[in-house]
């Protein structure tokens, strides 16, 4: 049977507990009881994301997220969705730079089904993976790219800013969606090798949270996952180390059919899991986290030069995090005036720091967001996996709120002064252009050219 330790509520955990276990094949298991409602969440994080990909094969991690729903040895076609939803549950999967996760929330009496389904595809997906399913999901991902990136206003902003903020060859230079060319180039053999390397129990963390019997749950996990062999062929991701600041302003102007001019920027910030990252999160919350923030008050309410202004943190563990600024201008306002106002507010904040009222409000806002995540079984399961995979200790998820509340105003000011500067950002400026002549687009040559550009 798996080995574990007794749960004890840590200071600042709000009484929440979690126990940790490990199977002989290396699968890490985290359990957290919560009998408030008769549901249970299953969350499985694989330690693989786009940062593990190599040049010429970007998008494989995200493609595999889709392939994992294409059937396995004992579950054909769309059966995973059909079985979970037919049992009254919900499910999905996502891919990021640093992980791929799969999750189900089930009525308590259907928990065993979710565990069996996850184990079946971890252990036997290759039995069902063939050229037909590969082509099917390749097309799905390519359409997703068109719909979410290529054919929507500002859709490629995230991809462009990431490519600017992380230099060529850096593991975070490309986004999880991958390129059309690389998706087309991926072979069935590539997918099979990718699965064998990364979809192994010793490269995963499984959390189960909710109305569970821990002994019974562990017995099911051992029954279904215990016989899956481990795999030792995984290479560590490429080094994501970079200097603390960019050292100069990087800039790109995009002329596209967008509703309004926009100023977007990415600032290089401290790695996730550090006290400095929590301080940066508070700084960005004061500056751009909602309608009470400084940038919203300055640009939207006072100057009326923007219709929206936000600032948020993309937390990353294996590379510097990014602070994301997004301002949409109003009317015919020029981006230059927006940028001047932003720099004035950042300089003032770096010099003076947050007021006591701003600190209290920002900490309360982040506390509420954390508690909202931990307050649901699905959110807690995800956070337990996150801290286990990225930081080695799922218990840290239960005390994260306390660490944010422990940050001082001086720490917030210091991180802002060190990082929120013009020489530490990648800037993207959107300038609207007139829509293309729709009559001309009817012409076959123009339509072909447009379709080719989308690829």
Structure tokens at 180: 């059309």
Catalytic one among 65, 358, 383, 411?
A: 65
Structure tokens at 306: 């923007």
Structure tokens at 276: 């400095």
**pLDDT at res. 428:** 98
Indicate the pairing of strand 90-95 with strand 425-432. Answer: unpaired
Give all strands of the β-sheet with 39-46 in edge-to-edge order: 3-4, 19-22, 28-33, 204-210, 39-46, 100-107, 90-95
pTM above the 0.85 mark? yes
- The CA distance from 174 to 168, in Å, is 9
Give the up-direction half-sphere exposure of residue 84: CA atoms within 13 A in the CB hemisphere: 24
Distance of CA 37 to the CA centre of its chain: 28
Residue 162 near residue 51 (C-beta atoms within 8 A): no
What's the full length of the chain, in residues?
455
Cα–Cα distance list, 94 to 68, 100, 182, 211, 236 (Å): 11, 6, 19, 24, 21
Residue 430 near residue 262 (C-beta atoms within 8 A): yes
Beta strand segments in 201-293, E: 204-210, 250-256, 262-269
Backbone angles phi, psi at 26, to 5 degrees: 100, -10
Helix boundaries (H) for 11-130: 60-67, 79-86, 111-124
**pLDDT at res. 11:** 44
- The CA distance from 395 to 436, in Å, is 54
Cα–Cα distance list, 83 to 102, 117, 199 (Å): 15, 9, 22
**pLDDT at res. 208:** 98
- The CA distance from 61 to 127, in Å, is 19
Residue 439 near residue 373 (C-beta atoms within 8 A): no
**pLDDT at res. 445:** 33
Structure tokens at 402: 């306390």
- What's the CA angle centered on 375, arms 373 and 378, to 5 degrees? 65
**pLDDT at res. 6:** 39
Give the up-direction half-sphere exposure of residue 111: CA atoms within 13 A in the CB hemisphere: 24
β-bridge mates for residue 101, sequence order: 45, 94
Distance of CA 330 to the CA centre of its chain: 30
Structure tokens at 331: 């009317």
pLDDT tens sequence for the chain (455 residues) = 344 443 445 544 557 899 999 999 999 999 999 999 999 999 999 999 999 998 899 999 999 999 999 899 999 989 999 999 999 999 999 999 999 999 999 999 999 999 999 999 999 999 999 999 999 999 999 999 999 999 999 999 999 999 999 999 999 999 999 889 999 999 999 999 999 999 999 999 999 999 999 999 999 999 999 999 999 888 888 899 999 999 999 999 999 999 999 999 999 999 999 999 999 999 999 999 999 999 999 999 999 999 999 999 999 999 999 999 999 999 889 999 999 999 999 999 999 999 999 999 999 999 999 999 999 999 999 999 999 999 999 999 999 999 999 999 999 999 999 999 999 999 999 999 988 765 443 333 333 322 333 32
Structure tokens at 216: 């019974």
| Burial of residue 179 (number of CB atoms within 10 Å: 0-12, 13-18, 19+) | middle
Task: Check if 65 is active-site.
Answer: yes
Residue 96 near residue 53 (C-beta atoms within 8 A): no
Residue 384 near residue 397 (C-beta atoms within 8 A): yes
Nearest to 386 by CA among 80, 59, 49: 49
């Amino acid at each position: 049977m798996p080995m574990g330790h007794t749960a004890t509520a840590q200071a600042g955990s709000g009484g929440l507990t979690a126990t940790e276990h490990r199977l002989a094949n290396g699968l890490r298991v985290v359990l957290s009881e919560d009998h408030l409602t008769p549901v249970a969440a299953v969350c499985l994080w694989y330690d693989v994301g786009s940062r593990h990909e190599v040049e010429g094969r970007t998008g494989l991690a995200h493609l595999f997220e889709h392939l994992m729903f294409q059937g396995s040895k004992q579950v054909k076609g769309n059966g995973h969705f059909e079985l979970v939803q037919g049992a009254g549950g919900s499910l999905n999967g996502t891919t990021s730079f640093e992980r791929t996760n799969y999750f189900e929330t089930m009525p308590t009496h259907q928990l065993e089904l979710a565990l069996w389904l996850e184990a079946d595809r971890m252990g036997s997906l290759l039995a069902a993976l063939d050229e037909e399913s590969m082509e099917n999901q390749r097309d799905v991902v390519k359409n997703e790219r068109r719909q979410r990136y290529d054919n929507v206003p500002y859709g490629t902003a995230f991809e462009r800013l990431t490519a600017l903020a992380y230099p060529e060859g850096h593991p975070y230079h490309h986004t999880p969606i991958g390129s059309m060319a690389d998706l087309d180039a991926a072979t069935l053999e590539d997918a099979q090798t990718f699965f064998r390397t990364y979809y192994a129990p010793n490269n995963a963390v499984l959390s189960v949270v909710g109305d569970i019997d821990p002994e019974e749950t562990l017995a099911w996990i051992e029954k279904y996952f215990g016989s899956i062999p481990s795999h030792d062929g995984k290479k560590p991701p490429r080094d994501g180390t970079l200097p603390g600041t960019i050292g100069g302003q990087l800039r790109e102007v995009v002329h596209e059919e967008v509703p309004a001019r926009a100023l977007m920027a990415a600032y290089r910030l401290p790695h996730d899991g550090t006290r400095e990252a929590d301080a940066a999160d508070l700084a960005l919350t004061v500056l751009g986290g909602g309608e009470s923030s400084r940038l919203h008050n300055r640009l939207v309410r006072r100057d009326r030069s923007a219709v929206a202004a936000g600032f948020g943190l993309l937390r990353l563990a294996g590379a510097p995090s990014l602070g994301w600024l997004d301002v949409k201008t109003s009317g015919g306002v020029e981006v230059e005036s927006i940028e001047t106002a932003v720099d004035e507010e950042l300089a003032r904040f770096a010099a003076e720091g947050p007021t006591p009222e701003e600190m209290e409000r920002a900490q309360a806002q982040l506390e509420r967001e954390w508690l909202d995540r931990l307050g649901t079984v699905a959110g807690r399961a995800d956070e337990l996996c996150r801290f286990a995979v990225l930081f080695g200790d799922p218990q840290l998820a239960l005390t994260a709120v306390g660490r944010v509340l422990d940050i001082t105003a001086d720490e917030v000011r210091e991180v802002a002064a060190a990082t929120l500067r013009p020489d530490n950002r990648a800037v993207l400026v959107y300038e609207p252009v007139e829509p293309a002549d729709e009559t001309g687009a009817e012409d076959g040559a123009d339509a072909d050219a447009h379709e080719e550009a989308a690829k």
